Amino acid sequence: MPIIDPHNMKKEKCKEKVYPNERWGSFHPHRCKNNAWKDGYCKQHHPDTAKEREQKSEARWEAKRKRSPEYKLKQAGKEIERLKKALGAIANSEEVLSSDKASWYRQIATSALKEAETK
Ligand SMILES: [Zn+2]
């Protein structure tokens, strides 16, 4: 039987069921003791707050993922591919091909490309 506090009878209570975790073996859910804040939920258990909390947790997870060496390696690999393409585009561009210094430009771009591939 839930204990009813007569002092709190008038105020609407949060309708969320909570599972106490302070004591192992106590798996019986009870009604949240907080006063209702909006839509019958307390501020902590309102779906909006829960959603916000979830988004924050996702953002944290995403930030953690972006700090991981695997992610950084993948990004570095993408960057190398992008640079290779850029060098290739320079070596074969109209401007370079029609330039007086065409062979010089091509040589620079090609050696940079080789360097990028071997590293
Ligand atoms: Zn609540």
pLDDT at 28: 79
- Nearest Cα neighbor of 96 from 88, 115, 84, 113 is 88
pLDDT at 83: 87
* Global pTM exceeds 0.85: no
pLDDT at 5: 58
Query: Is the separation of the CB atoms in 31 and 16 below 8 Å?
Result: yes
- Phi/psi for 13 (5° steps) reads -100, 155
Distance (Å) from CA 62 to ligand 1 centroid: 28
- 45: region left, alpha or beta (phi > 0 left; psi from -120 to 50 alpha): alpha
Distance linking the first and last C-alpha atoms of the chain: 71
Distance between CA atoms of residues 59 and 91, nearest Å: 41
Distance (Å) from CA 36 to ligand 1 centroid: 7
Distance (Å) from CA 24 to ligand 1 centroid: 21
- Nearest Cα neighbor of 48 from 32, 60, 37 is 37
Distance (Å) from CA 12 to ligand 1 centroid: 11
Query: Is the separation of the CB atoms in 91 and 105 below 8 Å?
Result: yes
Distance between CA atoms of residues 111 and 100, nearest Å: 19
pLDDT at 25: 63
Q: What are the pLDDT tens digits along the chain (119 aa)?
A: 555 555 555 679 999 998 876 666 667 788 999 999 999 999 999 999 999 999 999 999 999 999 999 999 999 999 989 988 888 888 888 888 888 888 888 888 888 878 877 76
pLDDT at 54: 95
Distance (Å) from CA 2 to ligand 1 centroid: 16
pLDDT at 39: 95
Distance (Å) from CA 6 to ligand 1 centroid: 19
